[in-house]
Amino acid sequence: MRIGPYELPNQLFVAPMAGVTDRPFRRLCKQLGAGYAVSEMVTSRPDLWNSLKTSRRANHEGEPGPIAVQIAGTDARMMADAAAYNIDRGAQIIDINMGCPAKKVCNKWAGSALMQDETLALSIVEAVVQTCAVRNVPVTLKMRTGWSAHHRNAVALARAFEGAGVQMLAVHGRTREQGYQGSAEYETIAAVKSQVRIPVVANGDITSPQKAAEVFKCTGADAVMIGRAAQGRPWIFREIAHFLATGSLLAPPLVSEVRRWLVEHLHDHYALYGEYIGVRSARKHISWVTRSRPGAAHFRQHMNSLDQSVAQIAAVEGYLDELNETMDRIPVCDGEAVSMTRGQDMVEVAV
């Protein structure tokens, strides 16, 4: 799997998610088996580039490459300038956002709203590709199947984007109209794959190793992109990699492993955001990891009342140490937690 000059270690990607896939989370997912991760989207508005939020998103210190940054906007010149801005700050791949369904993005005709205006969408792609080509930086793009059930134009746009120089396409198997409701469909992704020569990445509802294998088979995609399923379960990438290689399910991680990963992630998180914002923004990551576990509701209530990083880490360590007294591993079945008591060894299960 290659994107321009970059050879990737595998075909398992972390989807860009605003407020989630920051540098610490991308680094954690890569540590646990992801071969590629795209940043949260960075605005193309130059008046916001000096904001604290954008400066954090443009900070790639210590991040393993290739560094991919997603940009969002509606003006071709501003998008090209945003690409150059991020390249100057370490971006090695530029990704164009035409997939975000959020109202605050689409109401400004950015994200997946651009799929309604094919002429504007293509002009943005051409401007960004032209700017990046001079710097030998590949351009990729993430989109949906279309704006609505009656306006699925992903195939036509994919051909146009390939012709304009895009080197990889990621397709979420829903329309903008669907948001994240209903089920992702993969027929459109398969149709896109059949019509272009560049790599195509399948995204949407990939929540288990078995589902990943199924999506590879039914779409012919070159890679799969996992988003929400990695929230609280970043080790899903190593689980999928193991299943694709062996046909067997990897044993769930030890509670002690999860404790170590989470604490390391929290320290990385605080280092980026600082004490005040770091403690508060870390709460969602802690809640995702501990959801559906014994005593999780009481723990989260206590954890959300803490406002110091030292206390937050102590609470996490204490909770997971108590959990480790009753169970060896943190098992997951098709994206849902299941109970397991200490002494029940989880072995690889042939499928």
The answer to whether the predicted template modeling score (pTM) of the entire model surpasses 0.85 is yes
Dist. CA 320–CA 45, nearest whole Å: 43
Question: Are residues 233 and 267 located together in one domain of the fold?
Answer: no
Structural domain of residue 78, as residue ranges?
2-245
Question: Are residues 227 and 264 located together in one domain of the fold?
Answer: no
pLDDT tens sequence across 310-342: 999 999 999 999 999 989 998 664 444 333 333
Catalytic positions are 100
Dist. CA 106–CA 114, nearest whole Å: 8
Indicate which CATH number applies to the domain containing 231: 3.20.20.70
Least confident of 12-26, 289-303, 337-351: 337-351
Question: Are residues 159 and 271 located together in one domain of the fold?
Answer: no
Question: Are residues 27 and 166 located together in one domain of the fold?
Answer: yes
pLDDT tens sequence across 167-177: 999 999 999 88
Question: Are residues 324 and 195 located together in one domain of the fold?
Answer: no
What tokens were used for 125? 């792609």
Question: Are residues 328 and 238 located together in one domain of the fold?
Answer: no
- Last residue of one domain, picked from the residues 245, 270, 302: 245
- Last residue of one domain, picked from the residues 245, 276, 305: 245
Give the total number of structural domains in the chain.
Answer: 2
The answer to whether the CB of 216 falls within 8 A of the CB of 224 is: yes
pLDDT tops 60 at residue 19: yes
Question: Are residues 325 and 186 located together in one domain of the fold?
Answer: no
Question: Are residues 11 and 134 located together in one domain of the fold?
Answer: yes
The answer to whether the CB of 262 falls within 8 A of the CB of 282 is: no
CA distances from 254 to 236, 239, 250, 299 (A): 14, 13, 12, 20
Question: Are residues 129 and 113 located together in one domain of the fold?
Answer: yes
Least confident of 86-90, 102-106, 185-189, 337-341: 337-341
Question: Are residues 165 and 217 located together in one domain of the fold?
Answer: yes
- Last residue of one domain, picked from the residues 245, 273, 307: 245
**DSSP states of 256-312 as a string?**
HHHHHHHHHHHHHHHHHH-HHHHHHHHHHHHHHHHTTSTTHHHHHHHHTT--SHHHH
* Positive or negative: CA dihedral 227, 68, 269, 27: positive
